[in-house]
Amino acid sequence: MRAVVIRGHRMNAQMLEKDMDLTTGSANKNPFKYGYFNSVCSDQGEAEFAAIRVMTCGLSSQKFGKIINYAVKCMDPRNIYCEIGTFTGYTLLCAALHNSRQCLGIDNFSSTFYSPETAKNVRARVHANLGHFSFPNVSFVEEDYKKVALDGDRIGVFLVDAEHTREECFNCLEWGHRYLAPYAIVFVDDISACGVYGGVEDWMALHPSEVRELFKVHVHYPQTGDIDDDELGRQRANPVSYNGFCILEFTRKK
Ligand SMILES: C[S@@+](CC[C@H](N)C(=O)[O-])C[C@H]1O[C@@H](n2cnc3c(N)ncnc32)[C@H](O)[C@@H]1O
């Protein structure tokens, strides 16, 4: 088990005060809950995230990056953003952009789609991308999430974007459960792919009094073999979502 402490560079009081302007720190008044739908329905502010997506070779959409960023800005600054599945760093950088919240990415470059050569290239690319942006509030751990233990930190915004199966989606959510703050926002990407949403349903069924779905969008695209490369390219450039996503609200009961 690898213990991870990312609070080495704790925020100073001044930063905390500044960040507090964006959040009430109260579960009932979390501004994300009341503002996210505007963000979903408008493309305002997405250009920056579209540019980062291109620069980093990210896999998620510009809208998804923008909404994650909004959730992190609304988060109680005592908590952290954590993601499983960082790939080349796009979603991690989106989370950390223009704020001082601590953001942690976890990836072991183990996707079943990766050849050893691809894993090597993705690893090099994430380090290059994180180095290029140099955000002081970003930490990255190369490890299987199952071997990572957070030491004292509570997750206020959690993104699950690792292996796309029902079982692994559920396992990631359950790994996160013990670290979630009393109130947290949980994102799951690619819910339309390979039974991922089944994992979300299994997790909601296990914690019915704690988890509520705020939003979901399914996007079903044809498989690669059914369409030509131009069409696939256009679909991958979809600004809303490539394979769907959902947003869950977590309120700890015990
Ligand atoms: C779809 S990609 C993430 C995309 C990224 N969030 C983005 O938007 O650009 C999935 C990543 O999950 C990682 N992954 C799969 N299983 C994992 C595990 N057990 N622990 C950590 N990372 C894992 C893979 O190595 C892969 O890089």
**Ligand 1 neighbourhood includes 91 CB (under 6 angstroms):** yes
The predicted-structure confidence for 198-235, as pLDDT tens digits, reads as follows 999 999 999 999 999 999 988 865 555 555 556 555 55
Three-class HEC string of the chain = CEEECCHHHCCCHHHHHHHHCCCCCCCCCCHHHHHHHHHHHCCCCCHHHHHHHHHHCCCCCHHHHHHHHHHHHHCCCCCEEEEECCCCCHHHHHHHCCCCCEEEEEECCCCCCCCHHHHHHHHHHHHHHHHHHCCCCEEEEECCHHHEEECCCCEEEEEECCCCCHHHHHHHHHHHHCCEEEEEEEEEECCCCCCHHHHHHHHHHHCCCCEEEEEEECCCCCCHHHCCHHHHHHHHCCCCCCCCEEEEEEECCC
**Ligand 1 neighbourhood includes 85 CB (under 6 angstroms):** yes
**pLDDT over 80 (residue 89):** yes
CA 29, 91, 17 angle in degrees (round to 5)? 40
pLDDT tier, 95 (very low <50, low <70, confident <90, very high otherwise)? very high
pLDDT tier, 21 (very low <50, low <70, confident <90, very high otherwise)? very low
**pLDDT over 90 (residue 25):** no
Residue having the nearest C-alpha atom to atom 4 of ligand 1: 87
CA of 93 to the centre of ligand 1 (A): 15
Task: Give the ligand 1 atom nearest the CA of 56.
Answer: 9
User: Who wins on pLDDT, 9 or 82?
Assistant: 82
Q: What's the confidence (pLDDT) of residue 248?
A: 97
**pLDDT over 80 (residue 179):** yes
For the segment 16-38, the average pLDDT, to the nearest whole number, is 62
For the segment 184-191, the average pLDDT, to the nearest whole number, is 96
Q: What's the confidence (pLDDT) of residue 110?
A: 86
Domains plus CATH for the chain? 2-251 (3.40.50.150)
Q: What's the confidence (pLDDT) of residue 72?
A: 97
Q: What's the confidence (pLDDT) of residue 231?
A: 56
CA of 239 to the centre of ligand 1 (A): 20
**Ligand 1 neighbourhood includes 30 CB (under 6 angstroms):** no
The predicted-structure confidence for 118-165, as pLDDT tens digits, reads as follows 889 999 999 999 999 999 999 999 999 999 999 999 999 999 999 999
**Ligand 1 neighbourhood includes 62 CB (under 6 angstroms):** no
pLDDT tier, 22 (very low <50, low <70, confident <90, very high otherwise)? very low
Average pLDDT over all residues of the chain: 86
Pocket test for ligand 1, best of 61, 62, 109 (most atoms within 8 A of CB): 109
Q: What's the confidence (pLDDT) of residue 117?
A: 86
Residue having the nearest C-alpha atom to atom 18 of ligand 1: 144
Q: What global pTM score does this model have? A: 0.87
Q: What's the confidence (pLDDT) of residue 24?
A: 43
Q: What's the confidence (pLDDT) of residue 84?
A: 98
Q: What's the confidence (pLDDT) of residue 18?
A: 42
Q: What's the confidence (pLDDT) of residue 7?
A: 54
**Ligand 1 neighbourhood includes 69 CB (under 6 angstroms):** no
% of the chain residues with pLDDT over 90 = 65
